[in-house]
Amino acid sequence: MKVRFWGVRGSIPTPLSSRQIQSRIAAVVQRIEPHHLENQQSRERFLHDLPPYIMGTVGGNTTCLEVRLKDNTTIIIDAGSGIRELGAALKKQGEHIRVYHILFTHFHWDHIQGLPFFAPQVYDPRCEIHFYSPVPNLKAILEEQMQKPYFPISMESMNAVLFFHKLKGNTMDIGPVTVSWRPMKHPGNSYSYKIQEEDSAFIFSSDTELVQGDFIENPENTAFYRGVDSLIMDSQYTLDEAIEKYDWGHSSYSLAVDFAVTWGIRKLYLFHHEPQYDDKKLYSIEQSARWYLNHQKDSNLEIYSAIEGMEFEL
């Protein structure tokens, strides 16, 4: 299966400002030397060697993840503003997927605000969309954000065939994969999801404040966390911020590293980026997380910052 990030920010969309773009242009100009301009090859080398926080961006859209299975079954986790980008990309590529499965971790704005803009899919009567959550009254919750005076049209305008599923127990099958879930600490609750296809599995755990109980090697934790290939984990804060903002429902990057090491996870994707942080700060956090990992013993963990458009395969 392939996993692709369409929205990685937390709390609120964070577009680049004109001042930030001007600052990047100035930073590029300041680095240019005569030998960088000698020929096409030298110019390309110069651009390639620029720091990633100048040449790229982690993105400003809120939470949305696409999971594409081997049989082309399409699972989406959360419908933040990133789901608009997903819908637009599918249309541009001419992909006519007719069935979508959308899992919700919880219903704070940054995880549902993009749903009315998942176009043309939600307005196409040829599409079938299945919504899932362990929370009761799923349909009513989603309808509420599209009522006056909050939105100009109601959910009744969605012409796709909509199904609302309340998740029971702790596992279900979607196509060839098994989906598991469990509640995590977050105001109003949030659920992490584990998706397993044959011997490969990843966990998506946005909006999670890690607590001591998550590190205990009991049968329940071990069955869910042990030996997972990849973990996408809320790491919005530095450790100082996590202490200062105790009970706000988010984790520090250092705790995310500790957690991944504890459970023998192979790859960690730092996620739900703080909206006040610019790209330079976020890339420095990624480097700090790797530095912190170097002080761990016997760990082969790989650490990445989640970036819009990034894709990995299991």
- Summarised one tens digit per residue, pLDDT across range 17-35 is 999 999 999 999 999 999 9
- From residue 52, alpha-carbon distances to 62, 201, 271 in Å are 21, 29, 17
pLDDT tens, position by position, 61-72:
999 999 999 999
For the chain, what are the domain ranges? 2-14+57-313, 18-54
Extract the tokens encoding 83.
Answer: 């789901």
User: Above pLDDT 70, what percent of the chain?
Assistant: 99
pLDDT tens, position by position, 133-172:
999 999 999 999 999 999 999 999 999 999 999 999 999 9
Contact between 9 and 273 (Cβ < 8 Å): yes
Model confidence at 83, pLDDT cuts 50, 70, 90, reads: very high
Residue 232 CA to chain centroid, in angstroms? 7
- CA–CA gap between residue 24 and residue 105 (Å, rounded): 35
- CA–CA gap between residue 110 and residue 9 (Å, rounded): 9
pLDDT tens, position by position, 264-301:
999 999 999 999 999 999 999 999 999 999 887 767 89
Closest CA to 50 of 35, 32, 64, 38: 32
Extract the tokens encoding 199.
Answer: 């011997």
Model confidence at 203, pLDDT cuts 50, 70, 90, reads: very high
What pLDDT does 298 receive? 67
- pLDDT tops 90 at residue 239: no
Fold type of domain 2-14+57-313: Metallo-beta-lactamase; Chain A (3.60.15)
- pLDDT tops 70 at residue 59: yes
What pLDDT does 243 receive? 87
